[in-house]
Chain A
Amino acid sequence: MSGTVLAEAPERAARPAPVRPGRRYRPGGRWRRAASPVLLVAVWEAAARSGVLSPEKLPAPSAVLATGWRLARDGTLATHLLDSLTRAGLGLLIGGGLALLLGAVAGLLRLGDDLVDPPVQMARMLPHLGLVPLLIIWVGIGESLKISLVALGAFFPIYFNTYAGIRDIDERLVEAARTCGLGLLARLRHVVLPGALPALFLGLRLAIGAAWLSLVVGEQVNAQTGIGFLMMEAREFSQTDVVVLGLVVYALLGLLSDLALRVAERRTLTWRRGLRAS
């Protein structure tokens, strides 16, 4: 049972389940859904305390929390977290920015579509984490490797959702905007951008998930800092509590980024709520 928890944590951190924007809000369901995770943690704690689980294999949640508190107080956690966040942020910015640009070019221009889309479609077939050996040859094992991995992971979801978001815009709305005297730039601003925005949000959410996953893998290659390094180092000294703590941090990062994005989405896409009400 506790094995499930361990396997679940990095999975969550890496790939937040794509939640449909139209999910129903159920006031009572929220508490009911909290019951089984709480129970699971309680069972884990009890198993660890009673000695069923040896602390080298899996320490109690309370022990992991205590370790987390210790590392947070002496600043270790903050340092490594900041380095991980910087890598994720830079990679997202580079990969996401490039994806947005190329996705827009391919989505808006026929020539762009013909030139850009085929190579991207081909590259999509490569599992980007499998590129690690090649990337090491190209950019070495330093910081660029981690950032390149994140950028690669973030690129594809944003590219494809930008492309699809633009392509799915109702041509008739663009036409109506033209009859209202909107020029090319005004049409991009008032029709194309808001029309593609829901897809862009979806792409960003998937990209952030891919970014965390890339980071998990990237930070295990010769890192000197970062949450991944913290975990690899702890493994060498058999500090299982720190390893589990790393997983928890990864999971929390995934959860928090997903939450922040969902709030931003709800604020920006208010018009969709009206759409659902009708």
Chain B
Amino acid sequence: MATRTARELTPAPPVLTARAVRRAFGPTTVLAGVDLDIAGGEVVALLGGSGSGKSTLLRILAGLDREATGETTVHGTAAVVFQEHRLLPWKRVAHNVALGLSGPDVAGRVDRALAEVGLADRQRAWPAELSGGQAQRVAVARALVRAPDLLLLDEPFGALDALTRLRMQGLLRRLRAEHGFAALLVTHDVEEALLLADRALVLDGGVIAEELPVPLGPTRTPDDPAFGALRRRLLDRLGVPTP
């Protein structure tokens, strides 16, 4: 709580700055000048209709798109979790997590990351032997083990069943509280955004069309009236009629 208030008073230095990000595929402009700042330790949800360019923006921020224009800077390290787990099928779980790691005690770091997502006992498993939720937890561990300052998440729980999704949201909240990483969470789920984020953005027409602080404190439930009000506002902005 204390750190939280301190952060609100003196904003942490940004971990990500993006200016005038543009991307077109042929004649269609998908991103028409996106500006975005994420402060250290801040979780930002990015909402938007299907095809609004959320994944395109995230790939640009992850440095995976060379044809985009504009300026993006990540201060520190970034790690990515995609909608699909994207584990290498020919590497056991532990080797997937260790992919590209260097420095001292790689095995120990991998151990701890897997323990944190509750999969300490699946080190030697092949990805194909895991359930969807387990595989996604390994993908989270693979990102976490890099001790990122910024986590880029592209609908990380979108392919999971509702129960698993709730558990994963809890896991992400816990990991964030422990490690204090900043995150950009792309989601199409308004409730997920309000449960996890400090701020919600709506991508529409190729720009950030709406920005909404989510001042809901650390313990959040959808039953909270403030939660309901925010949800209505976001759904409204996304063009979903609410009663």
Contact = CB atoms under 8 A, between A and B. Distances in A.
Interface of A: 172-173, 175-182, 186, 190-191, 194-195, 197, 269, 271, 274-275, 277-278
B90 A195 contact: yes
A278 B128 contact: yes
Nearest to B128: A275
Contacts of A197: 90
Interface string B117-138: 0000000011111000000000
Interface residues of B, number: 25
A172 B100 contact: no
A186 B129 contact: no
Of all A-B residue pairs in the complex, the 6 with the closest CB atoms, nearest first, are A274-B126, A176-B86, A180-B100, A275-B128, A194-B90, A181-B100
Given A271-B126, A274-B129, A275-B126, A176 B82 contact: yes
B88 A190 contact: yes
Given A182-B99, A186-B100, A194-B88, A271 B128 contact: yes
Given A173-B86, A194-B88, 17 more contacts: A172-B82, A172-B84, A172-B86, A177-B88, A179-B64, A181-B146, A182-B99, A182-B100, A190-B88, A190-B99, A194-B90, A197-B90, A271-B126, A274-B127, A275-B89, A275-B128, A278-B129
Contacts of B78: 179
21 contacts: A176-B80, A176-B86, A176-B87, A176-B88, A177-B88, A177-B99, A178-B63, A179-B79, A179-B80, A181-B100, A182-B100, A186-B100, A190-B99, A194-B88, A271-B91, A271-B128, A274-B125, A274-B126, A275-B89, A275-B128, A277-B129
B95 to A, nearest CB: 9
A177 B100 contact: yes
B62 interface: yes
Interface in B65-110: 78-80, 82, 84, 86-92, 99-100
Contacts of B64: 175, 178-179
B interface, over-half SS:
loop
Contacts of A175: 59, 64, 86
Nearest to B126: A274
Nearest to B152: A179
Q: What's the dominant secondary structure at chain A's contact region?
A: helix
Contacts of B126: 271, 274-275
B142 interface: yes
B144 to A, nearest CB: 12
B142 A180 contact: yes
B82 to A, nearest CB: 7
Contacts of A190: 88, 91, 99
A195 B91 CA distance: 11
Contacts of B86: 172-173, 175-176
A166 to B, nearest CB: 15
Interface string B145-169: 0100000000000000000000000
Contacts of B88: 173, 176-177, 190-191, 194
Nearest to A198: B90
B89 to A, nearest CB: 6
A197 B84 CA distance: 23
A174 to B, nearest CB: 10
Nearest to B142: A180
Contacts of A181: 100, 146
Interface string B31-70: 0000000000000000000000000000100111000000
A180 B99 contact: yes
Nearest to B86: A176
A277 B84 CA distance: 20
B128 A277 contact: yes
A268 B126 CA distance: 14
B135 to A, nearest CB: 11
A131 B63 CA distance: 51
A171 to B, nearest CB: 10
Given A186-B100, A275-B126, A275-B128, A179 B89 contact: no
A195 to B, nearest CB: 7
Contacts of A177: 88, 99-100
A5 B88 CA distance: 46
